[in-house]
Structures are given as C-alpha cells and as structure tokens.
A = this chain, B = another copy of it.
Amino acid sequence: MNFSTIIGLFAAAGTTISFVPQAIKTIRTKNTSSISLGMYTLFSLGTLLWLIYGITDKNLPVALANGVTLIFACIILIYKLRYK
C-alpha cells in the first residue's frame, strides 16, 4: 500500500465519520435552525451518485464510504424536514 492510498483511506474515514457527531447532535437536540435544507438535499443526492459511481466503477472504498455517509446525511435531512 503506497503513501497516496494510506492518505486516501484516512481522508475517506475522516469525511465519513464527520457526519456522526452532526447526526447525534441533531437527533438529541432536534434543533435544525442553522442547518441548510439546500445543503442536505444536494449533499444526499451527491452522495447517492457517489454510491452509484462506486458500484458501476467497481470501487469498493468509494461505494462503502458513501453508502455509510448517505445514511447519516439522510438522517440529518429527515430531521431538517421534520423539525423545521
């Protein structure tokens, strides 16, 4: 495994795991006042496309990282729609 791949794995872990504290905060507080609906709509759609890209391109790390991120992004989006 070369340097670039190791950096890529840490990058994927960082951006994927980052949505966990946001999802926890949103579920706990039900406060979504400063969260942008536009962001989570576009971001969820973009992550779904990354997941499709990962599957069609047979790129397991991309598919896996974005599959997990999509779950958290959708949770936050649902809370934003439910608790405006």
Contacts and interface: CB of A to CB of B under 8 A. Distances in A.
Contact of A18 (B8, B14, B38): B38
A35 B38 contact: no
Contacts of A15: 42-43, 46-47, 50
Given A34-B29, A34-B32, A8 B42 contact: no
Interface in A23-45: 24-26, 29, 31-43, 45
13 contacts: A7-B53, A8-B49, A8-B53, A8-B57, A11-B47, A11-B53, A17-B42, A18-B42, A22-B36, A26-B34, A31-B33, A32-B34, A34-B34
Interface of A: 3-4, 7-8, 10-19, 21-22, 24-26, 29, 31-43, 45-47, 49-50, 52-53, 56-57
